[in-house]
């Protein structure tokens, strides 16, 4: 991977070569390694190094973006010229406020040396622990283990300069037994924090518990949503609801709910790129330092995230919260470090409180049906169970839900005492009453 001097040298060359009124360069460089397994065997080990240089040229209110993965000086200069050409041909964007003169971000967390140094043999030894559990239980295991080390640099002609390095280690473990499946995932910074045996046991227990599947009728059920399922709801809510562009375009539930109670009063939701429990990212793709943003406080919707454009368009104008995505960006700012505050209840207490309902491991293939009403639809997957008298009594065929996220979060009965990072949200388990299922899988 390119070192810091090389990455910042690319930024310097691009800015020096540009004749545009304003210029921004975003460099991402990284290495990713993947070990994939299926049918109780490792079948793939791959490694790749990537480089992306994205250049945004601004001429008046016209913007052009060009990118390259070639770090040679002549290729970089050609990309600069291409961005300027595209800017000259683009229509004016009257809402563009100019590039930010962002202050430098404070140093971020130190990358994990163990993640950077992880070898194929080490990844194989981790996967082997999952495979041993699968073979011992006569299950079929599949999944993947990925490690990455990346650098992100942002610089612009107004003096903004930011650089950070990040490491990630993620693992999925899926166990199957006939039609029954169980899954467990981990999303971490440090490779040595992975607990493959725990992931394997969780996935195996779910697959074994669902070996005799029942088919239930659709309808409202009390559900114990495990952290992955809760995180899926939060991520959908973040993309569509706490996005300032969606708010300004009247596509967000906040248009009618800002300042009002939208969830159970015990729920608090923030976005915090510096919280070490998650996957930290200290600045955005405009080089603006990420701010901790309160989104929901005591059940009341109190905030949203901004990039430079939406901050300038706010009434009255505000400062960017550091949530810009890479240009060109039609989606607007998105919270990607969500944290839902945990509660007092253990998993055992939550399960015991369900007289009759469902335990849901995770959701799959979710899509928003009605952003203003936060209606989401999708399927359960990899472990859906019937609970009676506080006990798991059977696995059930996967079910389709069609449910308002806000209505579900307003019907929370219990909040788990342990949170888990799932994708780009950190969440505890939740028990929710009257969660609406509208269909049942036929297989």
405 and 271 belong to one structural domain: yes
Predicted local confidence at residue 287, as pLDDT: 97
Same domain, 177 and 242: no
Scanning the structure block, which residue is given the tokens 């996957």?
A: 279
Say how many domains are in the chain.
Answer: 2
Rounded to the nearest integer, the mean pLDDT of the chain is 98
pLDDT at 299 over 90: yes
| Residue 378 confidence class, pLDDT cut points 50, 70, 90 | very high
Contact 189, 109 (CB under 8 A): yes
> What is the C-alpha separation between 254 and 295, in angstroms, rounded?
10
Q: Would 128 be classed as within a structural domain?
A: yes
Rounded to 5°, the CA angle 422-334-251 comes to: 115
Span 234-259, pLDDT tens digits: 999 999 999 999 999 999 999 999 99
Q: How far apart are CA 439 and CA 172, in angstroms?
A: 27
pLDDT for the residue 14? 99
* Last residue of one domain, picked from the residues 198, 224, 248: 198
Give the span between the Cα atoms of 13 and 271, in whole angstroms. Answer: 34
Residue 74's contacts (CB-CB under 8 Å, 6 or more residues apart) are none
What is the span of the domain harbouring residue 236?
212-443
Residue 204 is assigned to a structural domain of this protein:
no
In a domain, 203, yes or no: no
Three-class SS state of 359: strand
Q: List, for residues 127-146, the tens digit of each pLDDT value.
A: 999 999 999 999 999 999 99
Instruction: Give the model's pLDDT for residue 410.
Output: 99
198, 223, 257: which is the final residue of a domain?
198
pLDDT mean over 220-227: 99
Per-residue pLDDT band for 442 (boundaries 50, 70, 90) equals: confident
In a domain, 434, yes or no: yes
* CB-CB contact of 388 with 356 (8 Å): yes
- The verdict on 185 and 235 lying in the same domain is no
In a domain, 206, yes or no: no
Cis peptide before 218 (omega within 30 of 0): no
Residue 59 confidence (pLDDT) above 70: yes
| For residue 267, pLDDT beyond 90 | yes
229 shares a domain with 188: no
Q: Are residues 152 and 264 in the same domain?
A: no
Look at residue 29 and give its three-state secondary structure: strand
What per-residue confidence (pLDDT) applies to 443?
66
> Do the Cβ atoms of 344 and 417 come closer than 8 Å?
yes
Residue 203, H or E segment: helix 196-209
Task: Write out pLDDT tens, residues 68-108.
Answer: 999 999 999 999 999 999 999 999 999 999 999 978 878 88
SS3 state of residue 53: strand
Same domain, 20 and 164: yes
The CA distance from 25 to 53, in Å, is: 7
Question: 373 and 237 in one domain?
Answer: yes
Q: What is the dihedral of CA 54, 281, 408, 370, to 10 degrees?
A: -10
Q: Which of 134, 168, 198 is the last residue of a domain?
A: 198
Are residues 183 and 241 both part of a single domain?
no
Interval 96-121 mean pLDDT: 93
Please check whether residue 377 lies inside any domain of the structure: yes
Whether residues 385 and 281 share a domain: the answer is yes
The model's pLDDT over 178-222, given as tens digits with 9 standing for 90+, comes to: 999 999 999 999 999 999 999 999 999 999 999 989 999 999 999
Q: Could you tell me if 255 and 317 lie in one domain?
A: yes
DSSP 8-state assignment for residue 430: E
The pTM (predicted TM-score) of the whole model is 0.96
User: Cis omega before residue 328 (within 30°)?
Assistant: yes
Helices (H), 220-335: 227-240, 244-248, 254-257, 308-313
Select from 152, 159, 154, 156 the least CA-distant residue to 24. 156
Domain of residue 24, CATH code: 3.30.2290.10
Bridge partners of 340, per DSSP, are 269
């Amino acid at each position: 991977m390119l070192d810091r001097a090389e990455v910042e040298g690319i930024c310097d060359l691009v800015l020096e070569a540009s004749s545009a009124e304003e210029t921004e360069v975003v460099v991402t460089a990284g290495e990713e390694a993947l070990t994939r397994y299926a049918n109780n065997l490792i079948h793939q080990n791959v490694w790749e190094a990537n480089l992306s240089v994205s250049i945004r040229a601004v001429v008046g209110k016209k913007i052009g973006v060009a990118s390259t993965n070639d770090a040679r000086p002549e290729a970089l200069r050609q990309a600069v010229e291409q961005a300027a050409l595209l800017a000259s041909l683009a229509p004016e964007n009257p809402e563009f406020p100019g590039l930010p003169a962002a202050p430098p971000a404070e140093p971020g967390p130190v990358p994990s040396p163990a993640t950077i140094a992880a070898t194929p043999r080490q990844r194989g030894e981790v996967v082997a622990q999952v495979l041993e559990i699968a073979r011992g239980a006569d299950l079929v295991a599949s999944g993947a283990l990925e490690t990455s080390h990346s650098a992100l640099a942002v610089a612009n002609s107004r003096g903004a300069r930011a650089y950070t390095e990040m490491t990630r280690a993620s693992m999925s473990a899926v166990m199957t037994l006939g039609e029954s499946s169980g899954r467990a995932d981990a999303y971490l910074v440090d490779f040595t924090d992975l607990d493959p045996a725990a992931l394997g046991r969780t996935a195996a227990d779910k697959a074994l518990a669902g070996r005799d599947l029942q088919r239930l009728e659709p309808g409202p059920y009390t559900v114990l949503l495990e952290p992955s399922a809760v995180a899926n709801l939060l991520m959908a809510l973040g993309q569509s609801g706490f996005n300032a562009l969606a708010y300004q375009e009247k596509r967000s539930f906040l248009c009618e709910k800002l300042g009002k109670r939208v969830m159970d009063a015990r729920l608090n939701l923030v976005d915090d790129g510096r919280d070490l429990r998650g996957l930290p990212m200290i600045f955005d793709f405009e080089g603006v330092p990420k701010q901790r943003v309160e989104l929901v406080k005591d059940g009341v919707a109190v905030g949203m995230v901004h990039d430079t454009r939406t901050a300038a368009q706010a009434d009255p104008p505000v400062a960017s919260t550091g949530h810009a995505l890479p240009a060109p960006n039609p989606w607007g700012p998105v919270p990607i470090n969500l944290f839902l505050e945990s509660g007092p209840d253990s998993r055992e207490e939550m399960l015991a409180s369900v007289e009759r309902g469902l335990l849901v491991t995770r959701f799959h293939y979710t899509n928003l049906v009605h952003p203003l009403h936060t209606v989401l639809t999708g399927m359960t997957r990899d472990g859906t169970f019937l609970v009676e008298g506080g006990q798991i009594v059977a696995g059930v065929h996967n079910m389709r839900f069609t449910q308002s996220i806000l209505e579900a979060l307003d019907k929370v009965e219990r909040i788990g005492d342990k949170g888990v990072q799932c994708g780009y949200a950190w969440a505890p388990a939740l028990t929710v009453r009257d969660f609406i299922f509208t269909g049942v899988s036929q297989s």
